[in-house]
Structure 1
Amino acid sequence: MQLQLQHTVAGLALLVPNAVALLRFSCSQLVVERLDPLVTPGVTGSPHVHQIIGGRTSRTTGYVENNNAAAGPSTPRKQNGANTEQTAILYFQARNGTFKRVPQKPNVGFEAANGGMTVYYTPVISGQGQVTAFKPGFRMIVGDPINRAESNVPRQLTFTCLKDPYTRDGETKDFPKQPCPAGIMVNVRFPTCWDGETLDPPDHSSHVAYPASGTFESNGPCPASHPVKIPQLFYEVIFDTTSFNNQADWPEDGSQPFVWSFGDKSANTTTPGYGNHGDYVFGWKGDALQKAMDSNCNINCPELQSQTIQQGNQCSVKDLVGEDIDGWLDELPGGMPVDK
């Protein structure tokens, strides 16, 4: 299903730079393993593999421990030092049933280590009005790894088949059904309305909502149940599928061979990637994010202390699980079953 989505926030910034302000920066990977600081904090060996970015805090409190304290967080914004952001990982399944992790790559000009992700924080698109920054202890999830129904997928969770590194159109709710010349971009846009009270409910999601009508991009109003506008958090993750584009290696029926690390397989037409999801644990220092949002700074923020991408790329964490996730595997890490 192809969506008639409006321009992304990044595209809007290029079209009307005086009307749109946003923070945009790359974040390198801290680690890729079966660790889930939000859903199963303190557990070594979560059900499926994630990539995790962010800063140094204790994994027993739901974060990741950075073993390179001198490097700071894995983002160029030093005040973003205790955030944890994560997404699932993509695998290629060969005709013989074995799996190979799909590598990642960064956006052009955002050379984060091992691909990582590009992260956006955006206030009100029109430039009129304010947003309330996330509070200490705030956490949220968008999407659901066990979802297998298109009707339950928000329009804000999409895939882009990259014709080239600059492609930003043709977003779909399901995986692309053809080889993508420059890889597959996964787009994760979080809800932009908050109930104003709850920091982290048991489901990690009911305290936030999308606009009651319209979209974030059209400055749609928040529902009465979630009246507080918050910044739009947006991840762009690029999986470099180009080495797997030979259709002779794909399933004999021609379906696409990519599988999420939680077993959601695009080759199955009834479950084509609808489990796409992203996790967020807030950890900005003090009121730095609120100041940045109030200033409507664009891309670079004088209000924030910065470091170079190269400095952020030095940030790393110790592998806690200690299992092979990169070789040719007979099963997904953790024994996660693949949808049939």
Structure 2
Amino acid sequence: MKIKYQKSVHYSVRLAIQWILPFWLVACGGDESNGENTSESDGLVISVPTLSLLETPAANNTDGFARITFESSAATQCQLNGDAAFDCTSPLFLTDIGAGDQTLVIRTAESEPETAVTVQWTVANIFDAGHEDLVLTNQSPEPVEAYSWRGIVRINCDFSHSSYNDPIVYPGQENAAHLHRFYGNMLVDHMLTTESLLSSGDSSCQGGELNRSAYWVPALLAPLYDPDTGERALDADGEPAWQTVPAVVGNDEEAHEIFYYSAGIDDLSAIQPVPAGLRMIAGKATTQPEAPQDTSIVRWHCQSWESDDAENPQFSATIPECVAPDRVRMDIFFPSCWNGEDLDSADHQSHMAYPISEGGPNGTRCPESHPVAVVRPSYHYAFGVKPEVFDPVTQSSRGWRLASDMYAVTVSTPGGLSLHADWINGWHPQIMAALLDVCIKSGFDCHDGNLGNGLRLSGTQPGSQFEPEIINQGMGY
């Protein structure tokens, strides 16, 4: 016997239920349905699992994600657009939803008779929908320079806020980390989840809600001096006081491209978009003076050095003494080879790897352990050596340290060895695909959020810019 019926749930949702008779119970009194629907015919009782929808996506939207909630009296499996079925529970949060018609089937698993519901909705192409965070431009990107980036997009950001939180290393634990400065999604805190990142909050970076990615670094600190005497100032506990050194960001009159997306391997055609919610850490916060980090991953240099990987690779593992009006530059390169399975790992790094080189024109590739090449994020900051933050004697960056430097910073052992950064992908999938296909794979240098398709991302905006008290040299509570 097969029964099929339809009803409306929120919008045009097709609800189909099929009954398959797996067993026969002789009705001699008593109800053994266990909360399931029952049907009685000719002395037989048939138990039917219940499955009902509670929340579904809007029938037409531009989101790259979808939230569906439902109630079921049995275990369930889900299948999106005919792909492989997977075990699922409510609430169900789907990511990397592409443009076009979407069909999600939810059915009771390992239960007879089977019950199923179908949810249908349409995601518009945001480049045709006139999204407020996309702006028309008549500027076309130029091809990358020889012996430079293979293909690159440069994103500007303003400062959002600071806190002693780290949602990757200390999820759910407030004030458990050293002092960080956050950029991107303005709502990032210790309670961050992939769903909250993708579905809520505006961004301090270009692209607004299309770029809800979370970016954060340890705060850069400078000794605080008494402006009248030039002596070291003390905090409320009588300890030497510190102040934050702000990065040059959010000022359209000065270069402040601080986040790049580029190719980490030679074969551009092999690069894939970064999956939504992928978490990465570049660099090691526990680095000590006896074992400095590789400057191909994290590094410092003075802007006046005009450092260049191809012709002038002058870089330092520690913060150099740059003299005013110079700038201290900081570069952090994230790994771009993914294991293809995990969005995170126990150490927050082993699911990712850096490319390896075998020489030759196509020598840079991903290792077999991490075969999936993805778009490479990197951070590039500039810190002005200004009177309010420089050493009054040398008028330089002498004495600067990171909040994560867990060693004594001296003239002979400069700060900055613990340089590292965190990133969680919150890009709209259609924008991530455009960054890759139009700019990176085509070998263009796309400045200031230019997408190379006649559109650019909307401008930067400040977050709360909240700055907490500097505690224990920024190392926290």
**TM-score bucket of the superposed structures, by smaller chain:** 0.7 to 0.9
Distance 1:72 1:36, change over 3 A: same
> By how many angstroms is 1:267 displaced?
2.2
TM-score by length of 1: 0.74
1:87 to 205, 217, 227: 217
- Alignment of 1:301 onto 2:447: no
- What is the DSSP-based 3-state SS (H/G/I as helix, E as strand, rest coil) of the residue aligned with 2:423? strand
**CA displacement, residues 86-124 of structure 1 (integer Å, 9 cap, x when unaligned):** 111111125633212212213985759xx7x61111136
Q: Which residue of 1 aligns with 2:192?
A: 61
- Match of residue 356, structure 2, among 204, 207, 212: 212
Q: Does the 8 Å CA contact 2:451/2:457 hold for their aligned counterparts? A: no
3-state DSSP of counterpart to 1:256: coil
More strand by share: 2
- Following TM superposition, the consecutive aligned residue runs of length 4 or more in structure 1 with deviations greater than 6 angstroms are 63-66
- Find the aligned partners of 2:152 and 2:169 in 1 and give their Cα distance: 29
Distance in 2, Cα, partners of 1:167 & 1:181:
17
Q: Deviations over 1:62-108 (max 9, x none)?
A: 47989xx8x94222224643210111111112563321221221398
- Are 1:291 and 2:434 an aligned pair? yes
Displacement of 1:283 in angstroms is 0.9
Helix, strand or coil at the partner of 1:239: strand
Matched ranges for 1:180-199 at <5 A: 181-199=325-343
Q: Distance in 2 between matches of 1:255 and 1:86?
A: 22
Q: Is the 8 A contact 2:282 2:297 kept in 1?
A: no
Query: Equivalent residue for 2:89?
Result: none
Once superposed, what is the RMSD of the aligned Cα atoms?
A: 3.8
Q: CA deviation at 1:152?
A: 5.6
Q: What residue is the counterpart of 2:461 in the other structure?
A: 313
How many Å apart are 1:125 and its aligned residue? 6.4
| Partners of 1:78 and 1:305 within 8 A in 2 | no
1:266 Cα deviation after fit = 4.4
Amino acid at match of 1:281: I
Q: Distance in 1 between matches of 2:351 and 2:411?
A: 33
Question: Quick one: which of 234, 240, 258 aligns to 1:118?
Answer: 258
Q: 1:173 aligns with which of 311, 314, 317?
A: 317
More helix by share: 1
Counterpart Cα distance in 2 of 1:335 and 1:19? 38
Name the CA distance, whole Å, in 2 between partners of 1:58 and 1:105.
Answer: 21
Contact 2:202 2:212 in 1 (8 A): no
**SS, match of residue 270 in structure 2:** coil
Counterpart in the other structure of 1:160: 301
Please say if residues 215 and 424 of structure 2, whose CA atoms lie closer than 8 Å, have aligned partners that are also in contact. yes
| Residue in 2 that maps onto 1:129 | 269
Question: Do the aligned residues in 2 keep the contact of 1:64 with 1:84 (CA within 8 Å)?
Answer: no
Distance 1:74 1:35 in 2: 18
Query: What SS does the corresponding residue of 1:293 show, helix, strand or coil?
Result: helix
Letter in 1 for 2:445: N
Instruction: State the distance in 2 between where 1:240 and 1:120 align.
Output: 20
Matched residues in 2 for 1:56 and 1:33: separation?
A: 12
Structure 1 pair 89/334, CA: closer, same or farther in 2 (3 Å)? closer
Q: CA deviation at 1:28?
A: 1.0
Residue matched to 1:324: 469
Contact 1:214 1:220 in 2 (8 A): yes
SS, match of residue 248 in structure 1:
coil
TM-score, normalising length from structure 2? 0.55
Aligned residue in 2 for 1:3: none
Q: Is the 8 A contact 2:399 2:411 kept in 1?
A: no
Q: SS of 2:445's equivalent?
A: coil
- Identical-residue share of aligned pairs (%): 21
1:52 lines up with 2:182 in the alignment: yes
Unmatched segments (≥5 aa) in structure 1? 1-11
Unaligned runs of 5+ in 2: 1-141, 225-230, 233-239
Structure with greater Cα Rg: 2
**Aligned position for 1:8:** none
